[in-house]
Amino acid sequence: MSQSVNLTHQAVEILRKNDMGGYTVPTLGLYPFQWNWDAGITALGWLSIDENRAWVELEKLFEGQWENGMVPHVIFHQESDDYFPGPEQWGVNRALPTTSISQPPLLATVMKILYEEGKDRQLAQNKLELLFPKLLAYHRWWYKERDLHSTGLVSSFHPWESGMDNSAAWDEALARVPQTEQAYERRDLNHVDSDQRPLKEQYDRYIYLVNFFKENAFDYELIFNHCPYHTQDISLNAILQRGTIDLVALNQKLSQPYDLPDLEVEIERTRQAIASLWHEEKGLFLNRDQHSGQAIDFATTAGMLPLYGRSVSAEQASKMAIVIAEWLEAGKYGLASVHPASEKFDAKRYWRGPSWLHINWMIADGLHFYGHDELAERLRIRSREIIETAGYWEYFDPITGEGCGGPDFSWTAAIALYWFL
């Protein structure tokens, strides 16, 4: 069997193994439920195997949508002792339990890809008509409840909302959150080495925030005004911006398009607000800490995602391409989430150094869009080499290429299927 065929076969097997009947767990054991941004990437993988199954992944996720439009970051479709914090800790009283926060909204962009690339046109049209109103409600929720003062940037109230949980960019903002006094047992460490996961001190603060949301009865104004952790995440905002652009385009494919002048306003406002987070010397965008009111002076791959968000000037894109090219050379199995020369770089610890395939894909997509095709292609080839070296792990040591975190990981297999297999 050729290597390519073999890699494809393995990736398909991983999705089938992690398929719980309509939704795909990220990996067995460590993450036994459906995660929001994982579901988006995983649907791209299903696209080449079974188009209907790709749409069903999104339908299952929307089953957990709240009445206010929020699509939670985890949908607890089944019970499991493998994970903490589970439904009791979150305290969300719904027939289908969920968490009370969201995650980077990749869904509109994924839906546009499924719609445009699906061969079964009737299926694509039917699914789009079915899911579009839910998607629209989700985007409107972000602007209404997470940008109370119409700044053009939505807020995050938990590092888990960024999907980049223990990113070094959050260190100061998270340090303001008290450590919970509640006794609890971490389950993630039953599955993965502790040197590849967040620290206990960070977990204590994560759990404090989970309790804070519950104690405030999930009231969005109370949380917006009083949450001890309050950031504007450049990656989440760039992904939302791209999603809203794609949502407006998808609207035109509906049998009866909506009037969406509010979203046109949001797109323009966000474009300007993202521009305010540009850092000329670093050649990248930064996050903002809402408590200090300052940009967070620490660069990570998150700051490259405005390329994917279609929110940079041609001149900025050229500067970013130079930065990304150098960053990519700093680790043979890059793109490292934190630059290997940084004193905070930690090669195996989750979002403090490892490379992540779906982030590479988004950055390569952005580079393509701005005409940096050669660099985008280099990133694609490097990403493939990671898989050839290590297989389908959750994330990778960018220096040695070693697979880290959970094995047989859905979004790694899915993005490989979609992007280069």
- Binding residues vs ligand DGY (CB under 6 A): 73, 160, 165, 188
Quick check: is 172 catalytic?
no
Quick check: is 165 catalytic?
yes
CB closer to ligand DGY out of 84 and 369:
84
Least distance in angstroms from the C-beta of 118 to ligand DGY? 29
State both tokens at 277.
């987070």
Rounded-to-integer distance, Cα 405 and Cα 394, Å: 5
CB closer to ligand DGY out of 135 and 164:
164
Least distance in angstroms from the C-beta of 165 to ligand DGY? 5
Least distance in angstroms from the C-beta of 283 to ligand DGY? 29
State both tokens at 171.
């260190």
Q: How many residues does the structure list for the chain?
A: 421
CB closer to ligand DGY out of 55 and 350:
350
Least distance in angstroms from the C-beta of 161 to ligand DGY? 9
Rounded-to-integer distance, Cα 49 and Cα 267, Å: 34
State both tokens at 138.
């989700």
Rounded-to-integer distance, Cα 265 and Cα 213, Å: 30
Least distance in angstroms from the C-beta of 221 to ligand DGY? 24
Least distance in angstroms from the C-beta of 84 to ligand DGY? 8
What is the residue-wise DSSP string for 161-220?
HHS-TT-GGGHHHHHTSPPP------SGGGTS-GGGS--HHHHHHHHHHHHHHHHTTT-H
- Of the residues 145, 147, 161, 165, only one is catalytic, namely 165
User: What residues does 396 pair with on adjacent strands?
Assistant: 355, 403
To which residue do tokens 């900025």 refer? 316
Closest residue by beta carbon to ligand DGY: 160
CB closer to ligand DGY out of 4 and 182:
182
Contact between 41 and 106 (Cβ < 8 Å) = yes
Q: 207 vs 29, 162, 333, 343, CA distance in Å? A: 20, 16, 33, 27
- Of the residues 57, 145, 394, 408, only one is catalytic, namely 394
Rounded-to-integer distance, Cα 358 and Cα 375, Å: 16
State both tokens at 321.
């391409």
At 134, the amino acid letter reads K
CB closer to ligand DGY out of 19 and 188:
188
3-state helix, strand, coil in the chain (%, to 5): 50, 5, 40
Least distance in angstroms from the C-beta of 410 to ligand DGY? 14
Q: 167 vs 20, 191, 352, 369, 389, CA distance in Å? A: 30, 21, 5, 27, 25
CB closer to ligand DGY out of 131 and 209:
209
CB closer to ligand DGY out of 191 and 319:
191
Annotated catalytic residues are 165, 394
